[in-house]
Amino acid sequence: MKKSTTISIDLAKTVFQVALFNKYGVMKSNNKMSQAKMVQFIAQHPEAIICMEACGTAHYWGRRFQQNGHKVLLVPAHIAAKYRTGNKNDANDALAIYESINRPKTYFVQVKNLEQQDLASLLKLRQGYVKQRTQTANRIRGLGLEYGVKIPQGIAKIRKHLPCFLEDAENELTTSSRFILRNLLDQLLLLDGQIDEATNRLVARAKEVPVCTRLIALPGVAWIIASALYARLGDGSAYKCGRDASASVGVVPAHSGTGGNNKLLGITKRGDRCLRSLLVHGARSVVSRIKDKQDGLSCWIREQLSKNHLNKTAVAYANKLVRMAWAILKSGEEYRTPLAQ
């Protein structure tokens, strides 16, 4: 393999730290540059390896540098931080990024294309609205309890019962508390509309991506989960095998061992928490409705249920879902229902 020069960049908003290494690993420079100067430097430089932390704006710059013919490596921030020596500053961060890419077990984040970026952004927007709605619902129930008004759990119950409590003149709600609860209810209803709009936009965008159309053939995967899988895994080329893909989502068992004795623990819960949650919910919907289906996948799930709790089986199927999704993304093939053995 022909060695190339390497450019390590510590990203920032205005001033970038750019370190240049020759093909023998000798540092030739490590200087601060403005954005315009950095762009000009990269555009004029011969084909090289460019390494950066996988942080804000990394995917944008990764796409731009790839258009200039460079190979881009994005290093997870927590890995690059392990190789920093001395005080934390931009120059040392650029050196740490370069040091991390030369370690044998370092894994890299794939640069997102525009389709993945759109889907990831819409997912985060929707996720933010859902989180705000949950917080608002908890505030409503908590404030109601302070005045002796117990609203049943569940957002649908709040929509149904809170207007009745506000109209009831016999309870202990004061004028101020009614004003606060009415405003919180309006905020909740507004968030309902924003979640619906974000969901519709996300589904519409996913339907424009052929890969997502193939992914929804997987049992337990609908448009939102398909979008999250594609936004995270891309074309699957960043992973050597399906297990690496599921490990990046955190649905593989952790293990601890010493003296040759290894013990399997719970799942690692590393990586994308939102995707992991979606996968487990989708998997649970399949596992809980297995009934008497006789295809190969259903038989496997029934076998797992005979040995494990439903929740553990759901996590095991979530693991399998990621592996099957990786195979579809990597091969470009359609999903085929496994036959019973």
CB 83 within 8 A of CB 62: no
Residues of the chain with pLDDT > 90: what percent? 89
Q: What is the pLDDT of residues 126-157, one digit of tens each?
A: 999 999 999 999 999 999 999 999 999 999 99
Number of helices and strands (H, E) in the chain?
A: 13, 7
Residue 283 pLDDT class (50, 70, 90 cuts):
very high
Q: What is the pLDDT of residue 340?
A: 67
pLDDT tens digits, 177-186? 999 999 999 9
**341: pLDDT strictly greater than 70:** no
> What is the value of pTM for the model shown?
0.91
- Ranking 67-76, 94-103, 222-231, 258-267 by mean pLDDT, the lowest is 258-267
153 within 8 A of 137, measured Cβ to Cβ: no
d(CA 338, CA 317): 14
Give 29-33's long-range contacts (Cβ < 8 A, gap of 24+): 30/91, 30/94, 30/95, 32/90
Sign of the torsion angle spanned by Cα atoms 224, 228, 234, 237 = negative
pLDDT of residue 288: 92
Give CA–CA dist 11/61, Å, rounded: 9
pLDDT exceeds cutoff 60 at 1:
no
CB neighbours (10 Å) of residue 26?
Answer: 8
The whole-angstrom separation of Cα 289 and Cα 64 is 46
**Domain 6-101 = CATH 3.30.420.140:** yes
Mean pLDDT of 217-245: 95
